[in-house]
Structure 1
Amino acid sequence: MPKTVKLDPINEKVDILTNDNLLSGLLAKDLNVWKECGGRGMCSTCHVFITDGMESLSPVNRREIRTMEVITTAGKCSRLACQARVIGDGVVVEVPSGMYVNEIDNIEDLIGSRAKDNILHPITGALLVEKDKLVTRTMITQLKDTQVEVAEYMAKVQDA
């Protein structure tokens, strides 16, 4: 029997089959959540915050703990959506607000414009550029460096 999971801050709901992971529901809603490692709990790109109902999810496993150690924004209510299986009702998930740097096709096009959304680091979840901030050449260099860092990290994860 499906469980209803609430998605904040977009105030939507998604039904997820009992014992299916949160990621399946988030992807069904076309939300800004990745699965770079294919749902193996190794890349942290599906990091979400559980604002209510943590007890209605499967327990955190060792792999998830190790992966979340690299996420600078992780806290007590953090989970990897690919590893958190829904076992009960009452789960409320805070979905990422913004876009990941590797979603940007041509970073150079951003110079001199204002960021339309928060630009986030896909591994650590760190805020790289705040929404409505003017994008400078210095920021572009940092964003490009981050893209390279992410590509190298993902290549290592895929080889593991």
Structure 2
Amino acid sequence: MPQIIFLPHEDICPEGAVIDVEPGTTICDAALAHGIEIEHACEKSCACTTCHVYVREGGESLEDPTEDEEDMLDKAWGLEPDSRLSCQARVDDKDLVVELPKYTINQVSEHH
């Protein structure tokens, strides 16, 4: 069974996490099922960028993003070559290393 390794994130996952995932599960669903509260303002319908993540390792095992996902990613804060919408990226049979961005496009915080 593949694993997703979430790198530490100051607010969402301070210790980081390693979770086992069934192939075919989205990164977002896997995170939420394990208490990692990734934002998903559009209810995982590929209509926003709040679930944007960086797939630091293993991204080559994911299906290529759809045109809709690429269009939404163009609006994401901090876009990088390994950016994906976690609601669209489905785990295959390889482990992934995922980093959550410090901010999302609609995030407001008194601390930052």
CA contact (8 A) 1:58 1:85 kept: yes
Q: CA RMSD in A?
A: 2.1
- Which residue number in structure 2 is paired with residue 123 of structure 1? 105
Task: Name the counterpart of 1:92.
Answer: 97
Q: Which amino acid aligns with 2:105?
A: I
Q: Which of the two has greater helix per residue?
A: 1
CA contact (8 A) 2:3 2:21 kept: yes
User: Residue 16 of structure 1 is aligned with which of 17, 21, 29?
Assistant: 21
The alpha carbon displacement at 1:87 in A equals: 0.8
Task: Give the TM-score normalised by the residue count of structure 1.
Answer: 0.59
Q: 1:32 to 1:68 in 2, by over 3 A?
A: same
Shift of 1:90: 2.3
Q: Which residues of 2 match residues 51-130 of structure 1 at below 5 A?
A: 51-97=56-102, 120=103, 122-123=104-105
Rg larger for: 1
Q: Which has the higher contact order (CA 8 A, sep 6+)?
A: 2
Structure 1 residue 130, shift from structure 2 partner: 5.6
**Percent of residue pairs identical:** 26
Please report how far the alpha carbon of residue 128 of structure 1 lies from its aligned counterpart in structure 2 after TM superposition: 6.6
**1: distance between equivalents of 2:17 and 2:61?**
18
Contact persistence 1:32–1:95 (CA under 8 A): no
- Per the TM alignment, residue 57 of structure 1 is displaced from its structure 2 partner at its CA by 1.5
The separation in 1 between residues aligned to 2:101 and 2:81, in whole angstroms, is: 16
1:61 Cα deviation after fit: 0.8
CA displacement 1:61-98 (0-9 Å, x = unmatched): 1111000111130110100000001112221001244x
- The alignment of Structure 1 onto Structure 2 pairs a total of residues equal to 106
Unaligned runs of 5+ in 2: 9-14
Q: Could you tell me which of 45, 50, 55 is aligned with 2:50?
A: 45
TM-score (norm 2): 0.81
Q: Structure 1 runs of 4+ off > 3 angstroms?
A: 127-131
Distance 2:16 2:38 in 1: 17
How far the C-alpha of 1:46 sits from its partner, in A, is 0.4
Deviation of 1:17 (Å): 1.1
Q: Which residue of 1 aligns with 2:3?
A: 4
